[in-house]
Structure 1
Amino acid sequence: MSEEWVVSADWLADHLPNGDVVVVDVRDAWEYDGIGHVPGAVNVPFDEFRAERGPDGMMPDPEHWAGLLGDAGVEPGDTLVAYDDTHGVFAARFLVTALYFGHEDVRLLDGDYSAWIRDHKASSEPVDVPPTEYDIDDPREDVFVDADDVLDAIEDPDAVLVDTREPWEFEESHLPGAVNLDWKEVVDDESRGLKPREAIECVLDERGVTPDTHVVLYCNTARRISHTFVVLQWLGFPEVSFYEGSLTDWTERGHPVE
């Protein structure tokens, strides 16, 4: 999918009339209703699918997730395009959750709602969609890894562990050999979307994060790691793993940190 992991507002505007995408707004309901939304977008607020931290990270209960998407009229084969109003970090978590449960075609709107309304119309009309019976699959074992896989990566000279927390958190403690990448480093404050591809690749290259490495991402906040994951997929990195467990979980298991 490479570049199609991230789509522009113009791309979305071109596809909306065809009805070949399902647009998901993950802002709070009062923002969706009161401020407006992308025409035709359904609302699945972030707090509705955010879960308390457990042994498998912060993924929601499978039946709850299936119910949310079914109520939003989503079919397993739909092209999902998600957005928020926070540079895409909450929307990225929605997309990673969908991927975790087997949804294959997921896209992030480059920018956010504020970026959308600069050049495109918004709507305050309610969106009424018929519910579906949304079926989910077992978690993706090719992407989401456990603590044992991370331990193997620490010893792998061809792997690089990327900590997506803030620098002060990283300095306090991190996984052995990890490098730090704050997700905001790849976002342009003015456009509210991603920085140019070349600029992001330069930031990554400075940290030794290149397409010929196996990238293993971890964090203590699910949305931050999710945003970085989507960016790396957009850049075409062939091997990106997502450790859904947090650094807190890692240390509670007695694993080493620096």
Structure 2
Amino acid sequence: MYENLVVSADWLADNLDDVRVVDVRDAWEFDGIGHVPGAVSIPFDSFRSDVGDEGMLPGTDVWTDLMDEAGIDADDTLVAYDDTHGVFAARFLVTAELYGHRDLHLLNGDFSAWSREHEVERDAVDYPESDYEVRDPESSPLVGYDYVLDAVERVETGGEDAETVIVDTREAWEYEESHVPGAVQLDWMGLVDDGSRGLKSDEKLEELLAERGITPEKEVVLYCNTARRISHTYVVLRHLGYENVAFYEGSLTEWDERGGPVKTGETGETGETNESEE
């Protein structure tokens, strides 16, 4: 998944004949506003699990049916996009990775950014149905509740020298209300450039991450509420070459349900936190 993971609109325009493009916006946007030429519509809600298991994987049967209907094969090169700076598209890519898809890419920017300088079409392509095969991923970033509980202990006992950093990718107000002990706050939107609607430069991303102690030599454990926002941060970290990234899919939803410890408090620009027990 990680080679040339984030691709530009120009790159996609030059390679449309060699890739399969996936639009994860709502179907009405795909049909009514238009889409990248040749794209297929796989709305975000279609690859989320049922209510009650929000944010988790949809299941192999659901995923296989979606890929078959879209005419996507397991060895296709996929490029995903949305119109929300890539956060929904990133969740699609992480889901695809966990079902064993290998060649995955995020369009840097989103549909609005694409449509500024590139062709948009409204007619959908009718691809022949495929016979998609779910595979085991080459490696899985998924971790569960007990793993994160152990990570909290590693962070709290290691202090500034801890080899693990837990990252809360939600907004500051959410973090202040309740967060996993020892976590640093990094709003995923802080990685986005307002002008381009895509990622900030690699240099700025690395500086922002370093300010919070999120560096490549550490194990990075990601969480949000329902695994959507951490998908974007996960893709960004992989793009930057981070190798040890843990994806807590259950996130704070599961953490709270299982009675995990939480803290409240504010965080500053440097990641220093004034916390209190809740």
Q: Please give the range of the TM-score, normalised by the shorter of the 2 chains.
A: over 0.9
Partner Cα separation in structure 2 for residue 85 and residue 56 of structure 1: 21
SS of match in other structure, 1:160: strand
Match of 1:99 among 97, 100, 104: 97
SS of match in other structure, 1:200: helix
Compare 48-57 and 66-75 and name the one that shifted more.
48-57
Conserved? CA contact 2:21–2:79, under 8 Å: yes
AA of the residue aligned to 1:13:
A
AA of the residue aligned to 2:100:
G
Give the deviation of 1:246 after TM superposition. 2.1
Match of 1:231 among 216, 228, 236: 236
Partner Cα separation in structure 1 for residue 253 and residue 58 of structure 2: 19
Larger radius of gyration: 2
**Alignment correspondent of 1:9:** 9
SS of match in other structure, 1:107: strand
Conserved? CA contact 1:3–1:236, under 8 Å: no
AA of the residue aligned to 1:238:
E
Q: CA 1:93 to 1:39, structure 2 compared with 1: closer, same or farther past 3 Å?
A: same
Conserved? CA contact 2:40–2:125, under 8 Å: yes
Higher relative contact order (CA 8 A, sep 6+): 1
Q: Tell me whether 1:182 sits opposite 2:187 in the alignment.
A: yes
Deviations 1:230-258 (A, max 9, x none): 11110110111100012121122122222
Partner Cα separation in structure 2 for residue 234 and residue 217 of structure 1: 15
Give the deviation of 1:221 after TM superposition. 3.1
AA of the residue aligned to 1:167:
A
**Alignment correspondent of 1:124:** 122
5+ unaligned residues in a row in structure 1: which ranges? none
Partner Cα separation in structure 1 for residue 115 and residue 125 of structure 2: 18
Give the deviation of 1:2 after TM superposition. 4.1
AA of the residue aligned to 1:38:
V
**Alignment correspondent of 1:253:** 258
Deviations 1:43-87 (A, max 9, x none): 101111122365695211220111001110111111110001111
Compare 50-59 and 161-170 and name the one that shifted more.
50-59
Q: Tell me whether 1:151 sits opposite 2:156 in the alignment.
A: no
Compare 189-198 and 52-61 and name the one that shifted more.
52-61
Match of 2:177 among 164, 172, 180: 172
**Alignment correspondent of 2:204:** 199
Partner Cα separation in structure 2 for residue 161 and residue 140 of structure 1: 24
5+ unaligned residues in a row in structure 2: which ranges? 155-161, 264-278
Q: CA 1:2 to 1:140, structure 2 compared with 1: closer, same or farther past 3 Å?
A: closer
Give the deviation of 1:138 after TM superposition. 4.4
Partner Cα separation in structure 2 for residue 31 and residue 53 of structure 1: 23
TM-score, normalized by length of structure 1?
A: 0.94
Give the deviation of 1:197 after TM superposition. 0.8
Give the deviation of 1:142 after TM superposition. 3.1
SS of match in other structure, 1:78: coil
Q: Tell me whether 1:61 sits opposite 2:59 in the alignment.
A: yes
The percentage of counterpart residues that share the same residue type is: 62
Give the deviation of 1:155 after TM superposition. 2.8
5 Å-filtered alignment, 1:4-43, equals 4-16=4-16, 19-43=17-41
Partner Cα separation in structure 1 for residue 41 and residue 239 of structure 2: 24
Deviations 1:193-234 (A, max 9, x none): 111111111111111000010001011032211111111110
SS of match in other structure, 1:135: coil
Partner Cα separation in structure 1 for residue 131 and residue 144 of structure 2: 30
Conserved? CA contact 2:9–2:108, under 8 Å: yes
**Alignment correspondent of 1:87:** 85
AA of the residue aligned to 1:71:
E
Q: Tell me whether 1:52 sits opposite 2:57 in the alignment.
A: no
CA RMSD of aligned residues (A): 1.7
Partner Cα separation in structure 2 for residue 95 and residue 55 of structure 1: 19
AA of the residue aligned to 1:12:
L
AA of the residue aligned to 2:6:
V
**Alignment correspondent of 1:216:** 221
AA of the residue aligned to 1:214:
E
